[in-house]
Amino acid sequence: MIETVTLLTFIPASLALNLTPGADMMFCFGQGLRAGARSAIAASAGVAAGGIVHVLLAGLGLGAAVATLPWLFDVIRWMGVAYLLYLAWGAIRNGAVSVDAPAKPTKFAFRNGMVVNLTNPKVILFVLAFIPQFVDPAQGSVLLQFLIFGTISALGGFVVNGLVGAFAGGAGRVLTSNPRASRIMGWVTGGIFSALAIRLAIMERA
């Protein structure tokens, strides 16, 4: 369905974009710093799942509504801002999670990663701008091609963001035994989430 040359062009382009620091990478970094490598990898999986949902919506044509309706864009954006601020407050209030209690953050990390990705309307606009360059209606189902390209991109993002988060988790694990360092890491993570919320709040649609 998809020509080999097209795939060989898409994969390195997608990987280069995944390696570019962005909101998803910073979120996984903050999650790893606060709750460890397992939680960061789960968050990365959630981000990847959210990305596939964005691709599905774009392939179905629903992404056009976000691109053309300012109020819908803003509703999704402010939901994302509110959720990131909620996560920031939780990180500041609770500090870094002790290595003796990793179950809860790991359990919810996937959900948090997915929600953060889904409430960033710029992701679906990016999907609409990037993936159609590689889609050829003459090669078959447009939706299926969207999903194939989206899955490749999501897998690359999962690996890159997961590794970044795991690296942060390794550093965080060393520090969680120190209550003061744990508190500082909570503030650092809260600062990262707050910065992402501010970034999302001031973004423009164009």
Q: Distance (Å, rounded) from C-alpha 184 to C-alpha 195?
A: 16
Most confident of the following: 79-83, 146-150, 169-173: 146-150
Confidence grade of residue 44 (pLDDT, cut at 50, 70, 90):
very high
Confidence grade of residue 134 (pLDDT, cut at 50, 70, 90):
confident
Rounding to the nearest 10 degrees, give the CA dihedral for residues 124, 126, 130, 131.
Answer: -10
What is the pTM assigned to this prediction? 0.77
**Whether pLDDT at 177 is above 70:** no
What would the pLDDT profile of 117-126 be if each residue is shown by its tens digit? Answer: 998 887 888 8
Helix or strand run (H / E) with residue 98:
none
Q: Distance (Å, rounded) from C-alpha 147 to C-alpha 145?
A: 5
What would the pLDDT profile of 23-39 be if each residue is shown by its tens digit? Answer: 888 889 888 888 888 88
Give the per-residue pLDDT at 162. Answer: 92
What would the pLDDT profile of 81-106 be if each residue is shown by its tens digit? Answer: 888 888 788 777 765 555 444 445 67
